[in-house]
Amino acid sequence: MGGRELLLFAPFGADAWSIFNLLLCIAGAALAAIAASRALIQKRREHDINENSYMLEDAEWDIAGGAQEKPYNTIWMAMVIAMGIAGVFVFSLTQHTSQPMVLFDIWTLVNASILTIEILALFNLNKKPETTPLFSQSEITPALPE
């Protein structure tokens, strides 16, 4: 490599950029793009099913997935996309690629936490909402006389 060695960690304030931050930035941007494209495809499917629902019977409606689709949660989707953009923004502000390259620096913690928040939001986006019954089974069934 021409006598240059790759340092493992750059101290705080050192003029260097981290290759691991670049990988975290790319992963976050890719997750945000995939989640956004999946959401757009899902919305398109829901629109097509709702548009053609007058031609379907009730049984076909369930088979087509109209009644069984998970609700789309815009808050979690916005968080996934915002964290993907934030990762790119933090990388572009903190990493100067004209400087020597290291594996990790102090900003790796920030980029890793942004990616972690994005992954947690992505899991919550696909999480099925829990429903609790209004009454317990003991409240519904009458007590038998003894």
- The string of DSSP letters for 39-84 reads HHHHHHHHHHHHHTGGGS-HHHHHHHTTTTPPPP-HHHHHHHHHHH
DSSP 126: S
Contact (Cβ atoms closer than 8 angstroms) between residue 77 and residue 35:
yes
pLDDT higher than threshold 50 for residue 58: no
The C-alpha atoms of residue 117 and residue 21 are separated, in whole angstroms, by 15
pLDDT higher than threshold 70 for residue 111: yes
Question: What average pLDDT does the segment 43-64 reach?
Answer: 60
pTM above 0.75, yes or no: no
Burial of 85 (0-12, 13-18, 19+ CB in 10 A): middle
